[in-house]
Structures are given as structure tokens and as C-alpha cells.
Amino acid sequence: MLNRLTDSLNFQAQALTLRSERQRLIASNIANADTPGYVARDFNFASALRDATGQSSAAASGLPSTKLQLATTSATGHLQRDGRPAGARVEPDMNYAAASQTNLDSNSVDMDRERASFADNTVRYEATLRFINGSVRTLNTAITGQ
């Protein structure tokens, strides 16, 4: 029972971290809207969340995951299969945005797209915070018995 509760909170915490990183990227794109040669960046949130939580596409479809786990003797002294230190945060794959309009300065920032992405990500960030608050409130109610 406790594993399900902590898994839910860990999932929401990973989602919150990725949402804040995406918000930072979108804000950077907006700030560089007038910078000549700047190429807007973003990442696929769904695949980044799957990578961060260790879920494969098979696990997302409801089938059991067949991910191979390596045996380690130390939690921090080993490298993972991808060469990162054990426990290191997974960085999302960054993508470059294609320019929707041709610009003389080769800037690919589309302010309409960036504003819409910023607003959408803000709403989803707040929803994730509400999920976390609701989970903590439910836990608190269950513990205190009120």
C-alpha cells in the first residue's frame, strides 16, 4: 500500500520537475525572440516523463515491463548502462523548433506558439501541484483519521 502512495508522489514529482524545465525553456525562447539566429528549443514531455520514471512503451500499454536491471554493490559508485552515474537525473532530449515563417535574421521563435505553449504548460504545472496537494491531504486525513 505504501509503495503505491510513494510511486504516485514520485511520478508527480518527476512531472513537476519536467514541467518546470519546460517552462524555463519556453521562457528562454520568448526572451530570445529578437536574437538573430536563435533557434527555439523544446522537448517531448510524454517521452521525457516516460524516461524519467523508467517506464517503457510496453509498461505504458499495461503489459509488464521487461527492463533489465543491473546488479550493483554501491548505490553511487557505479555507472548505468548509458554511462551516467547511478542516480543521475535523466535529461530530456532537446528538439529544435522549425521556423513557421521565414525571417531575415534566421530566428525560429514563433511568439504565438510560444505564448500558447507557456500558458498550456502553466495550467498543467498547476494541475500537477494540485494532484500533489490532494495526495498529501488524503494521506494526512488517513493518518489522522478525521
Q: Which pLDDT belongs to residue 93? A: 75
pLDDT at 128 over 80: yes
Beta bridge partners of 41: 96
67 within 8 A of 49, measured Cβ to Cβ: no
Query: Mean pLDDT in the chain?
Result: 79
DSSP for 115-142, please give it. HHHHHHHHHHHHHHHHHHHHHHHHHHHH
List, for residues 25-66, the tens digit of each pLDDT value: 999 999 999 899 899 998 988 898 888 888 754 444 444 444
3-class DSSP state of 144: helix
84 within 8 A of 42, measured Cβ to Cβ: no
